[in-house]
Amino acid sequence: MSTIPHAERRRQQSRAEARRAILDATEALLVEDGFEAFSMRRLAERCGYTPPTIYHHFGDKQRLIHELLDERFQGLTRSLKRVRTGSDPLHDLRAYAFAFARFGLRNPTFYALLSHTPDSDDPVPAAAEEARAIMEEPLAKLAADGRLEADLEATQQAIWSFLHGFVLLRTNRADILFHKDVLEVGIEALVRSLIRDGAAKTRQENVR
């Protein structure tokens, strides 16, 4: 049985609801207007909370955006950590690629936010660095084993470009009827061309 007084529970719930509304409105505005046009005044109009209330919960604009990105990236990191990895980094690379794409399709607003360029002086959220490290680990192992056909950085960028483009097209072009196997076909084509012994296909669940 909870020992927290009823009034305190109500205050905690009210704070949580305010933070959630502010963060969701921040994400929507950043997607619509970009980082440069974002303002606390516009945010207050969107979320219904006054600027002093917003500052009370988040301190300033930079901290607000940082907390939003970190929270969203934590979701991506959790999805990647649920991937069942094996002894072959090639298997893990495929599994992470599918997990990344599935997350992007399930969270189109957050993924659209990633397409905007933040201020170069803003700190990178810790969860974003963790997600990047998870995604890059299999390729680093493949490079160490001499299994890459190209430079490691070029290989990373090629795979990222395909996954990024795939998610954006799937979420922004509802007029296109995508084949159910397009993600698998694309990943397999990259793997076969960029990684030695990449033709040993590991079947993954298709992204519908």
Which residues are CB-neighbours of 96 under 8 A, at least 6 positions away? 80, 83, 134, 135, 138
Measured CA distances, 35 to 1, 39, 51, 89 (Å): 45, 9, 18, 36
Which residues are CB-neighbours of 163 under 8 A, at least 6 positions away? 97, 100, 101, 104
| Structural domain contains residue 165 | yes
In tens, the pLDDT along 174-186 reads 899 989 999 999 9
Residue whose pair of structure tokens reads 């950043």 in the numeric block: 30
Do 4 and 96 share a domain, yes or no?
no
Do 48 and 114 share a domain, yes or no?
no
Q: Which of 16, 33, 59 is the last residue of a domain?
A: 59
The lowest-confidence range among 2-16, 111-125, 148-162, 175-189 is 111-125
| Structural domain contains residue 66 | no
Do 10 and 99 share a domain, yes or no?
no
**pTM for the whole thing?**
0.79
Q: What is the pLDDT of residue 119?
A: 62
The structure tokens listed for 147 are: 């299994």
H and E: helices and strands count for the chain? 9, 0
Domain that holds residue 106: 71-208
Residue whose pair of structure tokens reads 């049985």 in the numeric block: 1
Do 101 and 48 share a domain, yes or no?
no
Do 51 and 106 share a domain, yes or no?
no
Chain centroid, CA 142 distance in Å: 24
In tens, the pLDDT along 87-140 reads 999 999 999 999 999 999 998 888 887 776 666 566 778 888 999 999 999 999
Q: How many domains does the chain have?
A: 2
Query: Domain with 205 in it: what CATH number?
Result: 1.10.357.10
Average pLDDT, the chain: 87
Measured CA distances, 149 to 29, 50, 98, 132 (Å): 42, 55, 22, 22
Instruction: List residues bridging with 148 in a β-sheet.
Output: 195
